[in-house]
Amino acid sequence: MHIAVLSQASIRLLQPRSGAVFVDCTFGAGGHSRLLLELIQPGGRLLALDQDERAVQAARQLAEQWPGAVTAAHGNFADLVDLAGEHGFPAVDGILFDLGFSSDQLEDPKRGFSFLHEGPLDMRMNRTQQLTAAQVVNELSARELAHLIRSLGEERWAARIAEFIAARRPLTTTLDLAEAVKAAMPRGAWPKGIHPATRTFQAIRMHVNDELGSLRRGLAGATQILNPGGRMAAISFHSLEDAEVKRFFIAESKDCLCPPQQPVCTCAHRASLRILTPKPLRPDEAEVTNNPRSRSARLRVAERL
């Protein structure tokens, strides 16, 4: 069962008002959407988007309960401008990104996200896409795999892990992969507090779903469709994701992006956002105790100028 993370803070900062038009880019189990929906009534409308067909089924049920107020849509928020336009949301007052995967996805062994349960090496959030974790693990060269695990997993043992994976091919299950990672790392080097395969699984999942690329496009799309004064909130779960949101917000809050040594501006860039969270908001102790998955969450919010 997925528990919505940082829901109070994100909803408060998004300032939902009756009659407002919102997009939840990552519907999941709908925790944030349900809270938003109550607050934009009467008259508000919500586009509930997810790239996982199972989450969209749940969004369709919500749409049946709230006829006219909720529109469910299957798609990647990388295509936000087109999806929002197609579904009658060309300009909106608020947008939420609650990034990464849901507990429902993680806990279903068939989806292949978990190093704790035996399942196929899948890891696709959108099951209509071609690329799976099996292809990444079995078809990349050891060198490419090492690069991927180092850059997206920030894993020091990436080269050795990649060699061990390559030597054990073909790998077919999540546990084959978890075992290869464990074998590659000396016990004394296993990270404290997390499973040794956490970073490797994160890296492969991020690659399979092109998570950073989608995030970049999603944030740019959100800036395009937000009304002036409208707000976007992004909840991230690891440093690479948070760094991407931070970098985007900082760049879009500046009037010029020319290198500092350049005397005259030639970029013609104009600020489109005002940052509302100079430091990201984190969950409090009570939330982390109630929902340990929230411990790495960071919330950043910006307002459209």
Ligand X SMILES: C[S@@+](CC[C@H](N)C(=O)[O-])C[C@H]1O[C@@H](n2cnc3c(N)ncnc32)[C@H](O)[C@@H]1O
Partners of 272 in the β-ladder: none
CA distance to 25, 223, 228, 250, 305, per residue, from 89 (Å) = 12, 14, 15, 26, 19
Size of the site for ligand X (CB under 6 A): 23
The footprint of ligand X on residues 158-217 (CB under 6 A) is 214
Of 6, 9, 14, 29, the one binding ligand X by CB under 6 A: 29
Residues annotated within the binding site are 30-32, 50, 77, 98, 105
Span of 15-23, 30-38, 224-232, 280-288 interacting with ligand X by CB under 6 A: 30-38
User: Least CB distance from residue 44 to ligand X, whole Å?
Assistant: 18
SS3 call for 45:
strand
Shortest gap between Cβ of 162 and ligand X (angstroms)? Answer: 25
Q: Which of 16, 23, 30, 184 binds ligand X (CB under 6 A)?
A: 30
Residue 124 Cβ vs ligand X, minimum distance, rounded to whole Å: 10
Whether the CB-CB separation of 190 and 157 falls below 8 Å is answered with no
113 touching ligand X, by CB under 6 A? no
Interface characters, 37-66, with ligand X (x: CB under 6 A): ------------xxxx--x-----------
Binding-residue pattern over the window 124 to 163 for ligand X, x denoting contact by CB under 6 A: -x--------------------------------------
Give me the least distance between CB of 283 and ligand X, in Å please. Answer: 14
Minimum distance from residue 7 beta carbon to ligand X (Å): 7
Residue 114 binds ligand X, judged by CB under 6 A: no
Which residue's entry shows tokens 């996805």?
105
Omega before 90 within 30 of 0, i.e. cis = no
Closest distance of CB 96 from ligand X, Å: 7
CB atoms within 10 A of CB 135: 12
User: Which of 23, 89, 98, 196 touches ligand X (CB under 6 A)?
Assistant: 98
Please identify which residue in 9, 14, 20, 26 interacts with ligand X, judged by CB under 6 A: 26
In the set 16, 31, 112, 230, which binds ligand X (CB under 6 A)? Answer: 31
Instruction: Candidates 102, 132, 202, 236: give the one binding ligand X (CB under 6 A).
Output: 102
Which residue lies nearer to ligand X by CB, 129 or 289? 129
Which residues would be at the binding site for ligand X (CB under 6 A)?
Answer: 2, 4, 25-26, 28-32, 49-52, 55, 76-78, 98, 100-102, 125, 214
